[in-house]
Chains A and B, each alone.
Chain A
Amino acid sequence: MIELGEVLETYEMVSNENLDVRTITMGISLLDCIDPDLDRLCEKVYTKITESARDLVTVGDSIGLEYGVPVINKRISITPAAIVGGAACRCPDDFVELAKTLDRAAKEVGVNFIGGYSALVQKGMTEADRNLIESIPKALACTDCVCSSISLGSTRTGINMDAVRLMGDIVVRTAEETRDSDSIGCAKLVVFCNPPDDNPFMAGAFHGVTEADRIINVGVSGPGVVKTALSKVHGESFEVLCETIKKTAFKVTRVGQLFAKEASRRLNVPFGIVDLSLAPTPAVGDSIADILHEMGLEYAGAPGTTAALAILNDQVKKGGVMASSYVGGLSGAFIPVTEDRSMAEAAAIGALTLEKLEAMTCVCSVGLDMIAIPGDTPATTISGIIADEMAIGMVNQKTTAVRLIPVIGKGVGDFAEFGGLLGEAQIMPVNRYGCAGFVNRGGRIPAPIHSFKN
């Protein structure tokens, strides 16, 4: 029988520690919408999305009400658009029409983001892949809900450096297209190495081609809950620290598991995975940097940060896997800078640098995320940063990603404001030495030797 103290603990987590279910994401396969005629393709895509996700927002809200934990986002991921639109879209502008259709469908069903305006080019680019990539700046500027992700490398295939070079340019052009709003288009664009097919989080969510027709994936959160738990074990050993994180992660993930099963039942869509992520928000206390502080660091970025983050990431997974029957997605601690108030503060005072963030991405769940950099950063430098991050993912057989925002018209120390969950931050300095000679070589970086496991 449940005790009063346990009920009150749950309420405390929700009201004071920002416990929430960050997202219920419905993955929808659009493979059956493929058509050589662009108008027919758009019509089929719109119909499939709006019919599949008609009740997603209502169901998400009612589950939140009945169980007392809010569901912050309801979202959709689709089959990578380069595959869906390959037959119909013969130029970048054709893909923009598809992006507008996705945006209309997302608004019709009331979700806040639709992910999967994507291409998987880790080994090579088809004409359709190239057209989609070329369309990204315009597509993200003329839509509100569409998110784009490009896979540039994997442990099995190596890194497609032609695509890395191209994406440096695309990031800059996307920033320029949305210069009036602090280049916010780049917040909806991410590049990956080893992307998962079932990630429910934006901007990188897409519905992999090996997935079922429709699927429900849930992303949990709860940095504030972990921080509060750790505040009660100050000065205790690493064993106590790890046990505390594990127990807390278990409770948080159980909420995700319950919500995923319930959403799956009510929507009559199979349950996919729970993503065991600690996802911060700009709200006070809902911060990964605050957890690192509770673990004993003066600021995120101080010596010891990588070790502390490695512990956090590992314990979150160990606690979470027992709480859910299927885990997947990105699963771990996110370290976005603008979306995490204390991370942004650490960057502003110089405690946290781009190089330290790169080291942290070796042990966190994803990569360089939501980092505002000077608007005049050369495209080749952005490609160099992407190549570094892809190499970390490829060699370590983990997912890594880059979501940089070159804020056009602003320089180091200026403030970039994106609003809402995307937050704000001071623009961070980037190493000013060039790498054009390296990234302009062209071709592929071969897969590492330990990828040959057959």
Chain B
Amino acid sequence: MNRIIITLVGKDRVGLIATMCNYLAQNNINILDIKQTTVQEYINMMMIVDIDGFQGVFSDLASGLESVGESIGCIVKAHREDIFNMMHRI
């Protein structure tokens, strides 16, 4: 399994998660978990996904997600899960 953590931060509106999920589905990326919180009109969302089925290199995925983020007015980042496990788990 090749796990990536995707975060989305921005102003909440209808269809944000749907847009993200459609992009992931089109690229054969499986969503393992989604968490989100909304404070007033702002949304913070985190997805854990498996990119084993993704055809392409990581930089394509990162820039693709960034573009999707821009199209919906949000900041979207994607990084490998290991960095967070290393920093926050013993």
Contacts and interface: CB of A to CB of B under 8 A. Distances in A.
B82 A8 contact: no
6 contacts: A2-B5, A2-B48, A4-B46, A66-B58, A68-B77, A69-B83
A98 to B, nearest CB: 37
Given A2-B5, A7-B46, A66-B79, A251 B37 contact: no
Interface string A228-262: 00000000000000000000000100110110000
Given A7-B7, A65-B58, A255 B77 contact: no
B24 to A, nearest CB: 17
Nearest to B79: A68
A67 interface: yes
Contacts of A7: 5, 7, 46, 84
B87 A4 contact: no
Contacts of A66: 58, 62, 79-80
A62 B7 CA distance: 19
Nearest to A68: B79
A67 B58 contact: no
A257 B90 CA distance: 13
B70 interface: no
A258 B58 contact: no
Interface string B3-27: 0010100000000000000000000
B79 A67 contact: yes
A10 B58 CA distance: 20
A428 B6 CA distance: 49
Interface string A1-39: 111101111110000000000000000000000000000
Contact of B87 (A1, A62, A255, A322): A255
Interface in B56-90: 58-59, 62, 77, 79-88, 90
Nearest to B59: A65
B87 A254 contact: yes
Interface in A415-450: none
Nearest to A4: B46
Nearest to B85: A2
Interface residues of B, number: 23
A322 B5 CA distance: 26
B81 A2 contact: yes
Given A2-B5, A65-B62, A66-B58, A251 B87 contact: yes
Given A2-B48, A4-B46, A62-B59, A11 B83 contact: no
B86 A257 contact: yes
A11 B88 CA distance: 13
B44 interface: yes
A68 B83 contact: yes
A322 B89 CA distance: 12
B41 interface: no
Given A68-B79, A254-B87, 6 more contacts: A2-B81, A6-B87, A9-B88, A69-B83, A255-B87, A257-B86
Contacts of A2: 5, 48, 81, 84-85, 88
Contact of A258 (B5, B59, B83): B83
Given A254-B86, A254-B87, A8 B80 contact: no
Contacts of B44: 4, 8
Interface in A56-81: 62, 65-69
